[in-house]
Amino acid sequence: MNRPVDISATPAEELYLEEMYNRDSSFAYECSSEDLERLLLIFGEMEPIIDAFNVRSGASIEQRALDIGCSPDDFRSWG
d(CA 38, CA 63): 23
In total, how many domains does the chain have? 1
- Judge whether 6 lies within some domain: no
Q: What pTM did the predictor assign? A: 0.84
- Judge whether 5 lies within some domain: no
| Whole-number pLDDT of residue 5 | 60
User: Are the beta carbons of 77 and 54 closer than 8 angstroms?
Assistant: no
| Whole-number pLDDT of residue 74 | 86
pLDDT along the chain (79 residues), means of 10: 66 96 98 95 95 96 94 78
- Judge whether 4 lies within some domain: no
- Judge whether 3 lies within some domain: no
Domain of residue 68, residue span: 11-78
Element (H, E) at 42: helix 33-43
| Whole-number pLDDT of residue 29 | 97
